[in-house]
Amino acid sequence: MVEFPNAKINLGLSVTERRSDGYHNLETVFYPVPLCDVLEVIRGETFSFRVSGWALDGPEEENLVVKAWRLLEERFGLPPVVIRLHKVIPSGAGLGGGSSDAAFMLKMVNDLFSLALSEAELEAEAGKLGADCPFFIGNTPSFATATGNILTPIEVDLSGLHLVLVKPPVHVHTGKAYQSIMPRQPEISVREIVQQPAERWKGLLVNDFEGPVFRMFPEIGEIKEELYRQGALYASMSGSGSAVYGLFRALPLGIRERFPKNTFIFVHAL
């Protein structure tokens, strides 16, 4: 069984308050984009997990795909599987690649072993793995609140636009980014802003992480400025970075040449 876990971008991100458990409440819109990893799961004699593509740090058992497998393996007493993960979505980018891989793993195991878990049950399992993992179960545009785990479907139509996604070779530590944030209630909700045409988002739809992250890594802020110089209707960092995306009505010629050669660039019509 082979699936293609996709990335997401954040349309706006407001950190609204610091919680007593050390986490933060926020509001954002998760929007799925067609930049995908490749995940294969088959039955095997012994458990095996292999990764290709982008290198991943950390021990095998700390990988979210393996954690997702262990959740269902232990709950249902499942036999071994062989897992192959090819990473195309860069890590440390704010694109949710690891969370997507984990959510897709849950869905694939559910299908492979005919577990008959409902979408709500899969979301509950995904919530044990990470705040944005439940989003990738339904995988449709969603207004997210609390830690990002409370999801409400939302109509956002970006069809006809072009996405340019740019990630420089830097890694933003999410914990440090949160430490630099001063929580606040936005004057206008993200949910309200995204109902307007994308041409009106500039200056209204804000990612609270941009200020502190751009100070730590000025090159990320420069990417956003370059996307606007190239004619983006709207540009923003996704999540806590380091990827920045631009939405274009028409792609400028030579857009890839505007960024250093060691920069990851993904271009796609939405």
Comparing CA positions, the residue from 118, 121, 130, 157 lying closest to residue 141 is 157
The gap from C-alpha 234 to its chain's centroid, in whole angstroms, comes to: 18
Comparing CA positions, the residue from 218, 219, 265 lying closest to residue 246 is 265
Query: Amino acid identity, residue 67?
Result: K
C-alpha–C-alpha distance, residues 174 and 15, integer Å: 13
With a CB cutoff of 8 Å and minimum separation 6, the contacts of 132 are 8, 30, 96, 99, 144, 148, 149
Query: Cis omega (within 30 of 0) on the bond before 52?
Result: no
Contact 83, 50 (CB under 8 A): yes
Q: What separation in angstroms does the CA of 211 have from each of 80, 91, 124, 148, 245?
A: 46, 21, 33, 20, 16
Query: Amino acid identity, residue 148?
Result: G
Give catalytic residue positions: 8, 132
